């Protein structure tokens, strides 16, 4: 999930306060908001989000703004566009008291704005999307900003990240993971004299997405 949140002010003190409010919301309130109704009825404790990265930048025209990359467990949360929209509305209406603005990259990806998509539901065996997430999305969100460093004039942190999940214990039981399905393409057809019909001949192939920038 990738969201851009803009601060209306060119004042670093105010922008930093908005960012701290956003971090507090992601850690404390968002897990409660996105918890399933089933877990709420069972009175389960909300699970913390998997992780987040917030890059702080400064533009001469746009002022202070933040690139938010959010990681969630796809087994529990599939509505990535809805969750991103909830964060955006909370940012604009509550955290900045109506002064902020936003850009929802997940919604833009859903309506086909990008030719190469690295946000949304990403399967662990989807190497193509994971490469886009690593080399395009997170790199764009975490790139340094000379103007931001010059504006702060201090050693304030311009890149914030949440805690990463602990590795699962391999000794714990559970259903074994299904192997990834092989991508394939049709090569040709071969005629069988015994069965008197044609059979397709398939060869493995890797899914490819055309390159495009975010």
pLDDT digit of tens for each residue in the chain (214 aa)?
Answer: 555 666 656 788 888 899 999 999 999 999 999 998 888 889 999 988 889 999 998 887 778 889 999 999 888 888 999 999 999 999 999 998 888 889 999 999 999 998 889 999 988 888 899 999 988 998 888 887 777 877 776 677 888 888 666 666 666 666 666 666 666 666 677 777 777 777 777 666 655 544 444 3
Give the residue ranges of DSSP H helices in the chain.
12-24, 30-33, 37-41, 80-90, 105-110, 127-132, 138-142, 146-152
Q: Which token pair is 190?
A: 């071969």
| 70 closest CA partner among 85, 84, 81, 89 | 84
CA 34 to chain centre: 15
């Amino acid at each position: 999930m990738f969201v851009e949140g803009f601060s209306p002010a060119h004042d670093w003190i105010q922008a930093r306060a908005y960012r701290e409010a956003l971090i507090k919301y992601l850690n404390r309130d968002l897990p409660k908001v996105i918890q399933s109704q089933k877990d709420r009825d069972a009175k389960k404790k909300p699970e913390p989000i998997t992780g987040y990265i917030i890059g702080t930048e400064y533009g001469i025209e746009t002022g202070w703004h933040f690139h938010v990359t959010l990681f969630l467990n796809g087994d529990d949360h599939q509505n990535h566009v809805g969750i991103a929209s909830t964060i955006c509305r909370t940012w604009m209406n509550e955290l900045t008291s109506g002064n902020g603005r936003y850009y929802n990259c997940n919604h833009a990806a859903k309506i086909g704005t990008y030719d190469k998509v690295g946000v949304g539901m990403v399967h662990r065996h989807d190497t193509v999307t994971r490469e886009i997430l690593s080399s395009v999305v997170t790199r764009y969100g975490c790139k340094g900003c000379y103007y931001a460093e010059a504006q702060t004039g201090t050693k304030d942190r311009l890149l914030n990240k949440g805690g990463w999940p602990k590795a699962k214990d391999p000794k714990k039981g559970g259903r074994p993971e299904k192997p990834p399905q092989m991508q394939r393409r049709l090569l040709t057809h071969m005629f069988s004299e015994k069965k008197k019909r044609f059979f397709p001949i398939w060869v493995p192939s890797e899914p490819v997405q055309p390159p495009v920038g975010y």
